[in-house]
Amino acid sequence: MKKYYYIIIIVLATFSFVSCKKDFLDVKNIPADMPIDMMYKTYDYAQDVVWRAYSFLPDGFASMDMEAATDDAYHTNVNNRSHTFNYGVWNQFNNPDGGAWSNCFDGIYQANLHLKHRGEIDLSYLSNGIVNNDSTNYKKAVLNVKFMEGECYFLKAFFYFELVKRYGGVPIIDQAVDYNNPDTWKSLPRNSVNDCFKYIVSLCDKAAVIIPDSVRTSLTWYESGRATYGAIKALKARALLYAASPLFKEAGSAFTWEDAAAAANDVIKMNVYSLPTANTSYTDIFGATNAATTEAIFFRRFGDQNGFEFNNFPIMFEKSNGNSITPSQNFVDEFEVKSGSTAVPFDWSNPTHAANPYSNRDPRLAATVVYNGASFSSNTIQTYVGGNSGQPKLNATKTGYYLSKYVNPSVSLTNNTKTKHQWLYFRYGGLLLDYAEAMFNAYGANSDPKGYGMTALQALNKVRTRAGVAMPALTNLSQEAIMHERRVELGFEGHRLWDVRRWKKAATYFKAPLNRMEITFDGSKFTYAVKKLEDRVYEEKMNWYPIPQNEIVKTGWAQNTGW
């Protein structure tokens, strides 16, 4: 029975993966009675082991509710897992995001399985089948086997980064050790934070040697959504940004801001990614064709679906279920007001701002948030008390806002129409902000001693002044300005939960009251009032997740401090 265990889980996983996200990668059904040794020797089925590893990449849409565990949002569903975080009642026995531990180690195991058996893949049937000197299929398979090795190194690096940013040091596993088998797991040591980052960097470096940039442009058979040279370099840059940040430096990371800046520059100097040009919109980056934009570096493709829209359409739309991630007033207040050639922070004590709070704001506000009076799917959304999408309607937003980013307004809930979604793990705008932060902390706002060709201030201003945003360029830079820009540019893309932690600012931002907007309308005039929605709990120990208690019992590792 044990002989067929791995095949069975692969069959089940690939069936689920294909049925829900059928255009991500082309997988084959593996016969349940196929012996293990034959599976790894058969080219098509060996490739499915790699596809299985891809399936463990985080689902950004399913994880979007964790934005409500930050100061940027509130989840309308009172049973959502984010509330467990916000009430401070999570721990090593009950961590609503604890599935990341097993998910990542399962992905690492799957990648290690392929690396263990990659030398067994038999391509003789292709070489023996060459007719009229046409060796196209054979050469393609030889290249693909080589690339799959690099993909597994990349995927392992990705999974380890997901683990380290949550838990700190974790065990480094180079062999195909089954996470679900305690006999092979319990003797593993827990490596240090610095060891883990060194390992992530080494995996990225190995992958980058194997996978050239040409797979992105020259090999039409290399499926969209697979790892590319740019994706590998972007992952390394992001990991080193974290490694140089205060939380990880305190935990023993030896990497520096200089290291992070150099790694980000490696992506920039490829000169293949860019911000949108004229006649494009900031919202295009989050639409159905975003994978085709020049900004997309690495992404996960999903088939036609509409679950995200059912959850997040304003409640006025029939069949909108109100299971919504709703932006907070804390988040909305972050967006500046454009005033001629300058921009100023929004200020409720400014009578002009307070009288019309959504006028002349940073355009990224309207691209991210649906606010009172906004047009959505050819309807004017009313979030004021008694409005078509406001309180006291059942399941209406409690913050006064709905989410716009990644929500496709062209979907018809009543007709059950669907749209494609691609979740961007890395995009060029985010990479430029990674570079800006690293350069600023390494060399200051205006210095480029390594001759990279761009200062921290210039990189950040590229993002601010991009087509479709056109915010005034800054004339000076600070860490606070970088934090602001990351919040408004990368909001609801999976960054806030980790950025605030790595900056060691979570006890300030995540412990502050979460605010809402209450709007009343007397028939001719709106009145706006910022009110507290809820208090939140956050302790310093929560900068790190606790290791799951069952792992502590099994291995005897020391638990993270405070837990």
In tens, the pLDDT along 274-298 reads 998 877 789 999 999 999 999 999 9
List 495's β-bridge partners, or say none.
none
List 373's β-bridge partners, or say none.
none
Q: What distance in Å separates the CA atoms of residue 184 and residue 343, rounded to the nearest whole number? A: 58
Q: How distant is the alpha carbon of residue 27 from its chain centre? A: 24
* Residue-wise pLDDT tens digits, 176-214: 888 777 777 778 899 999 999 999 999 999 999 999 999
Mean pLDDT across 8-22? 35
Mean pLDDT across 110-122? 93
Confidence band of 12 (pLDDT split at 50, 70, 90): very low
Torsion sign (Cα): 190, 192, 197, 203: negative
Specify whether the CB–CB gap between 225 and 301 falls below 8 A: yes
Q: Using alpha carbons only, what angle is made at residue 313 by residues 312 and 317, rounded to the nearest 5 degrees?
A: 145
Q: What distance in Å separates the CA atoms of residue 361 and residue 488, rounded to the nearest whole number? A: 12
pLDDT at 28: 54
Residue 62 clears pLDDT 80, i.e. is over it? yes
Q: Using alpha carbons only, what angle is made at residue 492 by residues 490 and 497, rounded to the nearest 5 degrees?
A: 90
Burial 8-40 (b: 16+ CB within 10 A, else e): eebbebbeebbeebeebbebeebeeeeeeeebb
* Residue-wise pLDDT tens digits, 526-559: 999 999 999 999 999 999 999 999 999 988 899 9
Please tell me the pTM assigned to this model. Answer: 0.94
Q: What is the mean pLDDT of the chain?
A: 92
pLDDT at 130: 75
Residue in this structure with the two tokens 């058979």, named with its chain if needed: 221
Contacts of residue 459, Cβ cutoff 8 Å, sequence gap at least 6: 432, 433, 435, 436, 439
pLDDT at 30: 63
Specify whether the CB–CB gap between 306 and 330 falls below 8 A: no
- In the chain, how many H helices and how many E strands? 23, 12
Residue 25 clears pLDDT 60, i.e. is over it? no
pLDDT at 557: 92
pLDDT at 3: 32
pLDDT at 32: 65
pLDDT at 5: 31
Q: What distance in Å separates the CA atoms of residue 237 and residue 266, rounded to the nearest whole number? A: 8
Q: What dihedral do alpha carbons 115, 120, 121, 126 form, nearest 10°?
A: 150
